[in-house]
Amino acid sequence: LTLVFIGDGAPAGNYGYTNSGYSVYEEENERLTESLRTKVSAIKSLSIEIGTEVKNQNKMLSEMDNDFESAGGLLGATMGRLRTLSRGSQTKLLCYMMLFALFVFFVTYWIIKLR
């Protein structure tokens, strides 16, 4: 690289650089600029895809939240019924549990018998 000052006889449009050195740096700058442009474009498309995925995940989480709230309401109602049932006499509760157990036993027996 040779620096020549404008006042020393170098052409005015050259800014003191020799033609061969200036074009090499200019080509390298263009190549690096194009590489940077490609990388920025890839990062931009990746960030757009991430944004889309985040929106989809937030929507799914919102739907799950609604499902859990409705399941919580159903569970609360069931627990209320169980409390009401448990306030009754213990023999009544024991009778219901025995009937349920017999029902499950007969259904299971019937399913196994059909195979």
Q: Which of 105, 82, 86, 104 is nearest to 94 (CA)?
A: 86
40-96 pLDDT, tens digit each: 999 999 999 999 999 999 999 999 999 989 888 888 888 888 787 667 667 777 888
9 confidence band (pLDDT: 50, 70, 90): very low
Which residues neighbour 3 within 8 Å (Cβ) at sequence distance 6 or greater?
Answer: 16, 17
Amino acid (1-letter code) at residue 31? R
**What is the rounded distance in angstroms from the CA atom of residue 36 to the CA atom of residue 44?**
12
Cα 109 → chain centroid: 47
Half-sphere exposure of 33 (CA within 13 A, CB side): 6
pTM: 0.45
Determine the Cα–Cα distance for residues 115 and 105; give it in Å rounded to an integer. Answer: 16
pLDDT for the residue 78? 86
Q: Which two structure tokens, joined as six digits, stand for 28?
A: 């390298």
